[in-house]
A = this chain, B = another copy of it.
């Protein structure tokens, strides 16, 4: 459970700060579908992904989801500790997409370190800037890319994450990722099928023309 390897600021901490951080860390495991953080009222702390995958998303008033970004191995989830900054005034949901092992750092401990150490606060700036960049990328996509290229890019991204050409995804899940309606996604997937890009089965989508999907995705690939 050593956190040393996850934080580039470790060499700049004092012995007392290292002790404080290391003794406060605990480990936890979440099953696929578990929600780790539900909006700004929650403040469980920072999560470090040791193994598995987390998804950050927003929820509209009517319950429509939109995936903001994914957190993979060694990524650090800052917004699950949103109470450490009073200017974070938005709600992000974090859930596990597969069985996920994490290390948890309590928010008060991290806040203390941020207040004492310019290295910790600077690192936190970089973390937030990285997430901000992902959200700005997504906003450009939403405003300026057509849904067909976003759908193709999403399918290729899922393929990259799972390593398989058959994706166990319902149309509802795809719509939630893209912030779109289920009917719209179903229509587009049927069009993709008629073009030979995918083969639709109950509860899964098989990618049958990877080159074609890359062409359709175009600039929408990250």
- Where the two chains meet, the residues of A that have a C-beta atom closer than 8 Å to any C-beta of B are 58, 60-62, 64, 66, 85-90, 114-118, 120-122, 124-133, 135-140, 142-144, 179, 219
Contacts and interface: CB of A to CB of B under 8 A. Distances in A.
B122 A87 contact: no
B121 A90 contact: no
A96 B168 CA distance: 50
B64 A133 contact: no
Given A120-B118, A128-B125, A128-B132, A140 B60 contact: yes
Identify whether the interface residues of A are mostly helix, strand, loop, or mixed: helix
A20 to B, nearest CB: 15
A192 B129 CA distance: 39
A126 B85 contact: yes
A220 to B, nearest CB: 12
Given A61-B219, A128-B128, A132-B132, 17 more contacts: A58-B139, A58-B140, A85-B126, A87-B129, A88-B133, A89-B129, A89-B130, A89-B133, A114-B118, A114-B122, A116-B118, A117-B118, A124-B125, A125-B125, A128-B132, A135-B139, A143-B179
